[in-house]
Amino acid sequence: MSASVLVAGVGVMSSIGNNVAESLDALESGKAGMGDMHYLDSLLNGKLPVAEVKFSNQQLATISGLSSSVSRTAQLSMIAAREALNDASIKNFDQLRTGFISANTVAGMDKTENFFSEFLSDPSKGKLRDVVHHECGSASELVADELAIRNYVTTISTACSSSANSIFFGARLIKHNMLDVVIAGGTDALTKFTLNGFNTLMILDQNFCKPFDEHRQGLNLGEGAGYVVLVSERVAASLEKNPYCRLSGYCNANDAYHQTASSPNGTGSFMAMKGALDKSELSVNDISYINLHGTGTQNNDISEGTAIKDLFGPSYPKMSSTKSFTGHTLGASGGIEAVFSVLAIKHGIIYPNLRLTDPMKELPFVPETKFLKNQNIEHVLSNSFGFGGNCSSLIFSKI
């Protein structure tokens, strides 16, 4: 088994930036990406803010190079994954055993919705090409083909933990000498189905979300994509630039408490974080920063917060939820936040938890509210907790 799995490249696209550089600028300036809907056609426009990527489908197609008939999910994936691969600058990429492990939850639903709205009004209408790429795996296959990845391609869909699971599955394939390079992460686009579904659950905030605030009202849905390029030690040694960091720990756990809610005592969250720490052979005192799952719902924040209290108390590392910037990007969230975690190590920074004014009374800690520079970030814990109790934690460590 390979001793270490290293992060050689990162790529991201979300409502706060179309690449890594723009995202870092927004995170430092405190510029959130939420607002009114401009590209999603919904009756909830003007009633619920969302965190949209600031391009139409046609504009995304121009940037990605994919056909405009391809789903928004695949377009976002292509742009972020290509940025990550270009960032890694791997020599002789075509001679290595490569994999693409991508996550999503909505697949090509943005196109399918358009088809059925037209078809139901008139059976002679509706473009069949809009349903060809409906299933989740299609987006991964389209991007893998464009990036010339042939050895291993798969799609993971475990709700909001999907991208985190993609990343540590990729790490396991490298550790077991099955692949040399894996582009891992995830993508998701906003759809009417998702927005209406979450609205039915009554967990969407009519204002900009404020995770871990006593008066939080819910989450804001977002979209985007985030990927890391994982490499073996052998490949890392051939790179012209040093890797960002290493993926030192990871764990997936399931509390099996409820279909759409976390256990109030944070059982799954606790198991995932504890398992990742055990895997990395680190203690709670080693963690410099926690990128919280932090959706802003009543249930999620108390569940995650309780688990952190039980595991880390009485001494807590700095922590924050970057969903206060990007909204909750569902299947993409673990990938986007993995990129942010890697950048925290690279640049010695900690992100603010926006709009946090009244800390939760039940918790003995308070997330950071200011952008902090010149921090010594040795180990970052990134949490991604999904529906059905599927909870995953990743640990990135300085080399």
Angle made by CA atoms 333, 339, 344, in degrees to the nearest 5: 120
Distance from C-alpha of 269 to C-alpha of 386, rounded to nearest angstrom: 10
**For residue 13, is it left (φ>0), alpha (ψ between -120 and 50) or beta?**
beta
**For residue 316, is it left (φ>0), alpha (ψ between -120 and 50) or beta?**
beta
What lies within 8 Å, CB to CB, of 292 at 6+ separation is: 211, 212, 304, 319, 320, 321, 353, 367, 383
For residue 384, which of 345, 346, 329, 312 has the smallest C-alpha distance? 329
**Residue appearing with tokens 């009417």:** 192
**Residue appearing with tokens 């799954």:** 268
In the chain, the DSSP E strands lie at 5-14, 98-103, 152-156, 181-188, 224-232, 245-254, 289-291, 318-320, 379-385, 390-397
CB count within 10 Å of CB 259 equals: 9
Asked if omega into 314 is within 30° of 0 (cis), the reply is yes
**Residue appearing with tokens 């969230």:** 333
Instruction: Give SS3 for 219.
Output: strand
**Positions marked active-site:** 160, 293, 328
> What token pair was written down for 247?
């993926």
Q: Are 195 and 41 in contact (CB under 8 A)?
A: no
Q: Tell me the one-letter amino acid at 31.
A: K
